[in-house]
Structure formats: C-alpha cells, structure tokens
Amino acid sequence: MSASVPRLAAVTLADAATSPDTAVDPALDTLRRVFGYERFRSGQREIVDTVVAGGDALVLMPTGGGKSLCYQIPSLVRPGTGVVVSPLIALMQDQVDALDALGVRAGFLNSTQDAGSRRAVEQAFTDGELDLLYLAPERLRLDSTVRLLDRGEIALFAIDEAHCVSQWGHDFRPDYLELSHLHERWPDVPRIALTATATQATREEIATRLDLTGARHFVASFDRPNIQYRIVPKDGAKQQLLEFLRTEHAGDAGIVYCLSRASVEETAEFLTAQGIRALPYHAGLPAEVRARNQAAFLREDGLVVVATIAFGMGIDKPDVRFVAHLDLPKSVEGYYQETGRAGRDGLPSTAWLAYGLADVVQQRKMIAGSDGDAAHRRRLGTHLDAMLALCETVECRRAQLLNYFGQAAGPCGNCDTCLAPPESWDGTIAAQKFLSAVYRLDRERNQRFGVGHVVDILRGKATPKVKQWGHDDLTVFGVGEDLSEGEWRTVVRQLLAQGLLTVEGDHGTLLLTDASADVLGRRREVRLRRDPERTRARAAAKARKKAAPDVELSAEDTELFERLRAWRAGVAKEQGVPAYVVFHDATLRAVATARPASLDELGGISGVGESKLAKYGEGVLETVGV
C-alpha cells in the first residue's frame, strides 16, 4: 500500500470544462503526470470520460491495449476509492507494487494476508487514503466486506477479466455471477467491466449476467500487429519447440502451453536438460511451488514457464517474447487470450502452435465425453470447429482470427500463411477413398478401427493385424498407395476438421458423419491444405515482421540498453518487485536512443511519470553517463 503522493483533487470533466482555466483536463493531466504518457491510445479517452462522468461501460480491448488505465484514471479523478474486482489473488501484490511505483495509493484484501495487514488496508480505505482497492469476487459475498464498503466512499467498481462470468467461457468463475448485485447495493456507483476477448454472443452474456444491459459498449480493435501467428504441423513437437526457441528466441522470456499436467512436467524437464531454464506451472503442484515459479517468471529475465491454461490470466509482464502451444487450444477465444500474453510492450513477438491429427482426435473425444447436455457439447464442438478452421486455413490467419471477433481485415503480411502461402489441392478422391474404407469396415463387417489401421489398408500394407481381420481382401486395399502415411494422416486430420469424420471411444475409432454422404455421393468437393515443407516453414520464420514497429538499435544503443537493463534488474531486486515495475523495455529502449542529458529530458520520454522520475531519474542519468 502506498501513500507517497497526495491524492489528486477530485474534479469531474464537466467541472473542468467550465473552469476559468479551460486548459485543465484532469484525466489527461493524470495520464501525463502519473503514468508518463502524452496522449491516450485509441479508444481509451471515450471510455475514461464515460466512467468519470458516472456512466457504466463494457470494454473489450486486447491484452496490452491499455485496459487498466480505463479504470485507474477514473479512480484517481473521481472522489473516493476505485474498487477493482479481480480473480487474480496471486497477482494482486504485483499489481499494487506497480501502482506504488507510480505514486498511486493502492491496497488489496485477500486470503494471503494476516489479520494485521487486512486491518491496515481496511482502515486506509475508510479513512479515504486509498486510490484503488483490489478484491477477489468471492470476498464480495462476505457480509463483512459489504459493511466495509458501506463505510467508505467508492469511486467506481471495475470488474476485470469479465469473461469469467460467461457460463461456458474458457475461464468461467461462479463467483462472478454474484456481481450483478453491485448495482442493486450501490446504484449510484459507475461500473466498468473489462475483458480482452469475447465474441458478440459472449459480450451479450456478460452484459446480461452483470446487469450491464444499459452500459455503453466499447470494442477496440482486436489486432495485435506486433504478434506473428504461426501454426506448424506437429512432427516431434518437443524437438520442434527446441528448434524454435534456439533459432528465434534464445534467452527470451516466454510461455509454453500444454494440455496435461504430465506433458507440462515432461516438457519443462526436457527444456531444462537442453540448457533452457524452464519451470512448470499447473494446478497439481503445491501452492507454494506455483507461487514461487510465477514470481520467478515475473521477476527474472529470460525464463520460460511451461504451463496448463491455469497460468497467465492477468500476467502483466510486458516482455514475453513468445507464446507456444504444444497442444491444440479448445477455442479461438482461449487461443487469442493465451497468445495475447506475448508482446504487451508492442515489440515483435511470436505466437507459435504445433498441431496434428492426434490433437483433433483428442479434442473430439473430450467433447463427446464432457459433462453437460447436448446443447453444451454442440457449443464446445462449434468452438473447436472455429479453432480447426483457423489451423487449416490457406488464407491470412490474422484476418480469420479478427473475423471471428467480428472485425473485418485484409492480409496482414505477418503470419505464416502470408509470409509463405500454403497450397490447396482437390482432395475429393482421397477423401472418397478414406471415407469408403471407413464405410466398408463399419457397414459391411460391423467393425470399427482407428486411423493407423485404415491408412495401412489404403496403402496396401499387409500387416499382421490387417491379415488377421481379413482386410487385405477389401476392395479399398491398396487404392491409396499414391499418398505416404504422413500425407494420409494430414488428409484425415482435415476430414475431421471439416466434420466429414468423427471419432468415438477411448481408442479413437472412426465413424462417418451425415456430411460424409455428400462426398461419397460425389455431391461435394473437398479442398485440402497441403502442409508446408520445412524449408518454406523456415522461410516464414525468418521473414521480417513487416507489421511490427522498427525497434532495431545501433550497436552503441544496444550496449546502453543492456546497461540500463542491468541497472533496472538491480533496483528491482533491491525493491523486491518485477523489473517491469521499474520501467518497461520499451521505455529503456527509448532512453537508449534519446540519451537524455537532464531530468527534464528524461521526463519527456513515454512511460516516465513524475513519481518514477523522482525515484529513478538520477539512477537512469548516471547509467546513461550524464
């Protein structure tokens, strides 16, 4: 909790407009003095004005787009304390530390505190000495918390990670369903709900469940042009990941997502054995181990975390240079949320996914065996279909990703399908051969088998299993010798992705779908994507990120940048905070380029507000050599 600067004078934008000093703009003044930015990003200004004036807002803005400022500045401008509802207990201390570095008085209440710490924060709130107070949603269900809030003055309620209210979303939290009562208890307090990812349907669900149907909706562009999206066919995923890290992201901080806890452990051990420091994170680890590994990731440079999707929401680390997936995400929303943790500082970053046939089979089986009614399983299937369409597209991945969220876009020039365009081919005959083999096994002989066995039949391989079942006498035996085993697996993957095949049971046995009949009856053409060769994939990896900002530093500036990072690391370690709390890499790059010679010049650099200038200015100038 910080009390290092006096609270800003409470003044509304309407007051400012009629003030004798018409140049006074409290929101913009706060942005400049406290946060060190000269102007609002696109979309922020209107949101801030709405909330400062007492209106409700539902905000969709990509990770790294500046969502936090949309409630932090109104909390500083309006009378009272901004109450931030967040599911991220493990990160509240870091969030408060980051605000403390800016001179903002912030505190939190959660289960990690002792009684004395809680009482101190509660007293600061009731005394009007807090600008922001962070609470977990479950704490708002306690009568003691409600009574506490009644004793203080509330500037606004900010509901962060608002997609958690969506019952069938990717991060559903039951406690969020109770937040609709905020308006009933405190009808005059404005509310702002924020999320980085939601389709139109999810947005409507958020508005309904949080009683925000009358709120203004703000939807920023979902585009993250500094992120290069790449999806590669899986072929020894761990070795592919290792090559990706060594050739493109050596020494960089990043996140690797795996579907299972066992895979997380195995991958972390594999990377560590290869000389890449990697720590695991999943719900099965002891709480103290998870906390320690998360803290290390936030505070240390160049660390890789291998995790299930339990990790990452709310992580404010700006210099995550890559997010890699070794397993297929369940939805485009989940994929976008997870990849969005890369490149929050706007610098070039990579979203890399290895994807194969087994992923499709596994996800289809998980949906078939999931809890919930048929409508729920259909919804899960729709989410997966959209994710598979993104993986199999021959068009621009970014355009397809943005289109999913209702945003039209043309080719981006900074994804693998733009940098090394894949080919498509008429796979109708191949599809007919495979579907015909599945049909004959199921209908003629009442037998069902998995992918490998059907491929053996088509390729004319008289394996012991094929001969045992007499499948070498089928009319389709040997009709697929023109394709290799790997090519047939690519065909099957895409048939599953297009809904022309399905799987059931623990062994992934294949079945036809209603749509299969149109292919077998020659009423439907099947276009398939040809997986790129390794050489073309490497060409895409090496291509310059055309949409990314020009951030190349000269050799001299790079040497200064590294000195500034070393200085920052020492300060952060001494203060016990993550390095980015002191300054972001983007700010240090600007310092290395501009080489300010005075505090005034340093104060003109983006990201250097009054508090940081006072705390760190002399140290920066000394490092620069002034």
Calpha distance 349→322 (Å, rounded): 5
End-to-end CA distance of the chain: give it in Å, rounded: 33
pLDDT of residue 456: 95
176 versus 572: the higher-pLDDT residue is: 572
- Kindly tell me if the per-residue pLDDT of 328 is higher than 50: yes
- Which listed CATH number (3.40.1350.10, 1.10.150.80, 3.40.50.2300, 3.40.50.300) goes with 555-624? 1.10.150.80
**Mean pLDDT within 241-250:** 95
- Secondary structure class of 42 (helix, strand, coil): coil
- Kindly tell me if the per-residue pLDDT of 353 is higher than 50: yes
**Mean pLDDT within 546-561:** 72
What's CA 61's distance to the chain center, in Å?
12
| Range scoring the smallest mean pLDDT among 12-16, 68-72, 153-157, 271-275 | 12-16
Residue ranges in 407-461 assigned as alpha helix (H): 416-419, 428-439, 451-458
pLDDT of residue 17: 36
- Kindly tell me if the per-residue pLDDT of 431 is higher than 80: yes
Helix (H) or strand (E) holding 66: none
- Kindly tell me if the per-residue pLDDT of 20 is higher than 70: no
pLDDT of residue 8: 38
**Mean pLDDT within 497-504:** 86
- Let me know the angle formed at the C-alpha of 189 by 105 and 211, rounded to the nearest 5 degrees: 120
**Mean pLDDT within 481-504:** 89
What's CA 88's distance to the chain center, in Å?
15
551 versus 425: the higher-pLDDT residue is: 425
Check if 13-219 and 227-422 are the same fold. yes
Q: What tokens does 377 get? A: 């399983």
366 versus 551: the higher-pLDDT residue is: 366
Burial (CB count within 10 angstroms: exposed 0-12, middle 13-18, buried 19+), residue 177: middle
How confident is residue 375, by pLDDT bands cut at 50, 70 and 90? confident
How many residues can be counted in the chain? 626
pLDDT of residue 202: 82
pLDDT of residue 6: 35
Cα torsion at 393, 399, 400, 406 (round to 10°)?
Answer: -170
How confident is residue 171, by pLDDT bands cut at 50, 70 and 90? low
Residues 100-143 pLDDT 10s: 999 999 999 988 889 999 999 999 999 999 999 999 888 988 99
Maximum alpha-carbon separation in the chain? 94
Calpha distance 590→603 (Å, rounded): 12
With CA atoms as reference, report the closest residue to 68 among 258, 308, 293, 314: 314
- Kindly tell me if the per-residue pLDDT of 314 is higher than 70: no
Q: How many CB atoms lie within 10 A of CB 312?
A: 22
- Domain range summary for the chain, segments of one domain joined by +: 13-219, 227-422, 425-530, 555-624
| Range scoring the smallest mean pLDDT among 90-99, 285-294, 441-450 | 441-450
What's CA 397's distance to the chain center, in Å?
16
**Mean pLDDT within 143-162:** 94
How confident is residue 232, by pLDDT bands cut at 50, 70 and 90? very high
- Kindly tell me if the per-residue pLDDT of 145 is higher than 70: yes
How confident is residue 540, by pLDDT bands cut at 50, 70 and 90? low
Calpha distance 36→33 (Å, rounded): 6
**Mean pLDDT within 461-477:** 92
How confident is residue 542, by pLDDT bands cut at 50, 70 and 90? low
How confident is residue 21, by pLDDT bands cut at 50, 70 and 90? very low
Residues 393-419 pLDDT 10s: 988 999 999 998 888 899 999 999 999
- Kindly tell me if the per-residue pLDDT of 524 is higher than 60: yes
Long-range contacts of 137-141 (CB under 8 A, 24+ apart): 137/85, 137/86, 137/87, 137/164, 137/173, 137/175, 137/176, 137/178, 137/179, 138/175, 139/109, 139/110, 140/85, 140/175, 140/178, 140/179, 140/182, 141/175, 141/178
Q: Does domain 425-530 have CATH number 3.90.1150.10?
A: no
How confident is residue 547, by pLDDT bands cut at 50, 70 and 90? very low
Angle at which helices 332-339 and 374-392 pack, to 10 degrees? 60
- Secondary structure class of 250 (helix, strand, coil): coil
pLDDT of residue 405: 87
Calpha distance 66→476 (Å, rounded): 58
pLDDT of residue 553: 84
Q: What kind of fold does domain 13-219 have according to CATH?
A: Rossmann fold (3.40.50)
Angle at which helices 485-497 and 451-458 pack, to 10 degrees? 130
Neighbour-count burial for 8-38, b at 16+ CB within 10 Å, e otherwise: beebbbeebeeeeeeeebbbbbbbbbbbbbe
pLDDT of residue 197: 77
- Kindly tell me if the per-residue pLDDT of 549 is higher than 70: no
- Secondary structure class of 253 (helix, strand, coil): strand
Give the bridge partners for 325, in sequence order. 257, 353
Q: What kind of fold does domain 227-422 have according to CATH?
A: Rossmann fold (3.40.50)
Mean pLDDT of the chain: 87
Calpha distance 443→52 (Å, rounded): 67
- Kindly tell me if the per-residue pLDDT of 246 is higher than 90: yes
Give the bridge partners for 232, in sequence order. 354
| Range scoring the smallest mean pLDDT among 176-180, 208-212, 579-583 | 176-180
- Kindly tell me if the per-residue pLDDT of 584 is higher than 80: yes
